[in-house]
Amino acid sequence: MLEEALEHLVKGIVEHPDEVVVRDRALRRGRILEVRVHPDDLGKVIGRQGRTARALRTVIGAIEGRAVRIDLVEAPGYR
């Protein structure tokens, strides 16, 4: 559910929603939601001084009831 919620939030704000992929990765250090976006959208999901990334973390953390690590990365294969 959580990765679906994050995917919805990100798809709604980017220029290339079809390229958004969210992976829920359970690592030894804990859970990470990794969001891949089109390279042109990376700046958008991070936002000025990381504002948008922070907003995503705040809302997803609120839904989960505790802090969730979210990594925002470029989808591979573009450059």
Partner 1 sequence: MTESAVEAEQAVSAEQNEDELTRLEEEGEIAADYLEGLLDIADLDGDIDMDVEGDRASVSIVGAELDQLVGPNGEVLEALQELTRLAVTRETGERTRLMLDVGGHRAARRAALERLGVETARKVKETGEPVKLAPMSPFERKMVHDAVAAAGLRSESEGEEPNRRVVVLPV
Contact residues toward partner 1 (CB under 8 A) are 1, 4-5, 8-9, 12-15, 44, 51-52, 54-56, 58-59, 62-63, 65
Nearer to partner 1, 36 or 41 (CB): 41
CB 19 within 8 A of CB 39: no
Q: Angle at CA 78, nearest 5°, toward 56 and 55?
A: 5
Contacts of residue 29, defined as CB under 8 A and 6 or more positions apart, other chains included, come to none
Nearer to partner 1, 9 or 36 (CB): 9
Residue 28 CB, nearest approach to partner 1 (Å): 28
